[in-house]
Structure formats: C-alpha cells, structure tokens
Amino acid sequence: MQKKIISILIFLHFCLSCNNSGNKNIKDFENVFEISAIDAVKFGLPAIDFKITYPDDIEAISAKEGEYNPNYIEFYYIEDEVFHESLSIGIYESASLADEFIKQSLLDQYIAQYQSQLLDIEVVFNGQGDFMGKQLYQLKLKFEIVDEMYGYKGNYKMLLVLYPPDNGSENGVLLIFQATENSDIEDFNDFGKEGKTAKIWQTFRFI
C-alpha cells in the first residue's frame, strides 16, 4: 500500500491475544490464509496456528519470510482511494502475559505509543470489557487524520483486543479493528459484528 495506515505504525514487541473458537454456521470466503507454528517462526513471529478467510474485494498483506513483520496478516477495505475499514491480526504472547496487571500495562503502553504519533486522540475505554461475549482486555480509541503522511484522511474508531488462544497454544493474537465514517460501523459495539471486517473475523479459528 502506498499510503500508511496508522494501525501498522505501531509494533510493541511485548505482544498480545484474541480468539474466535469458530462459528460453525459462518461460511468461509474464497481466499484462505493459514499459518502454522513453523511458518510463524520463519517469519520472525511467535509460534501460532490459525486460519482465516477473506473475499476478493479485500486487500490482504501477510507476513513474509525475510521481511519485518509487525503482524501475521492485515486486511484493508478501500474503495476508490477511500478508506473504510481494516483489521490486523498481530502478536499476543498470552502465556507470558497472564498477569492482569501486565495486560493493563500493555494497553497503557499502546496508548502512549499512539499519543506519540497522534496528538489529538481520545481514549474512550481502557480495560476489561465485552467482546463477542467474552470479557477481554481492550482499548477503544477515536482520532482524526488530517495529514496524509499519517494515513488516509478521516475520523477513525479503533478497537484493540487481547484475544487468548483456545487450542492449548501459548500465544493468542492482538486484534486491531479500524473504521472511518465511510464504514457501516457506527459504534464500537459494531466491531466484529458489522461491516466487512466482521465477516472476515467471523471466519477466524485457531487450529
């Protein structure tokens, strides 16, 4: 992508998690991204096994061997140079970050990182809350991008979720959802339920 997206400006190598144990009634899309623990290590990422699918009208950027990889995979819904939504699936070394205080500290560090890049950022929520029926640590942020050097212009909502594994793995995933006023996502509660990224997320499963 030629333009930067704020979600990939950040990479704290402390790491985070998420899980969707598999919605059995969800139909997979035509494009499949599947990563094994062996592949993840090759990419310089924590070992993990998961699968997710996505439609043809979504731009996907996945980790590659020999490159710097802040995330396992990122999804972007952009039409005619207009940003709508994105979802990145990144690092959460959940086994080593089991302590509740450490999880909260990580969220605080993410806030500091974003504030260092975007001066005018609103922290809507920081702590443990509901995500898809699970009580998980999360951040809800609002900000505006007016300078294209920081990404596509627009008013953004961002949800970060530490999502733990359900397959006995030591690692989960960090979810970062983003949406602008161009998206069908009107409220933070819509993340994971409405819009293009929700349909993608609902196909996620640890394997």
The separation between CA 24 and the C-alpha centre of its own chain, rounded to angstroms, equals 22
Is the pLDDT confidence value at 69 over 80? yes
Quickly state the pLDDT bin for 101 (edges 50, 70, 90).
confident
Q: How far apart are CA 44 and CA 13, in angstroms?
A: 11
What rounded mean pLDDT belongs to the chain? 88
pLDDT at 20: 43
User: What order of strands is seen across the sheet that includes strand 31-35?
Assistant: 31-35, 50-54, 205-206
pLDDT at 94: 82
Q: What is the pLDDT of residues 21-47, one digit of tens each?
A: 444 467 899 999 999 999 999 999 999
Is the pLDDT confidence value at 75 over 60? yes
Contacts for 153 with CB less than 8 Å, ≥ 6 apart: 145, 146, 147
Query: Could you say which of 1.10.10, 3.40.1000, 1.25.40, 3.30.70 is the CATH number of the domain covering 6-162+182-206?
Result: 3.40.1000
Ranges of each domain in the chain: 6-162+182-206
Global confidence as pTM:
0.86
Helix (H, G, I), strand (E, B) or coil at 143: strand
Place of tokens 């922290």: 123
Q: Is the dihedral of CA 21, 26, 27, 28 positive or negative?
A: negative
Q: How far apart are CA 56 and CA 178, in angstroms?
A: 19
pLDDT at 1: 52
Q: How far apart are CA 20 and CA 25, in angstroms?
A: 13
Instruction: Say which residue, 200 or 13, is predicted with more confidence.
Output: 200
Residue 45 is given by DSSP the state: S
Q: What is the pLDDT of residues 124-144, one digit of tens each?
A: 999 999 999 999 999 999 999
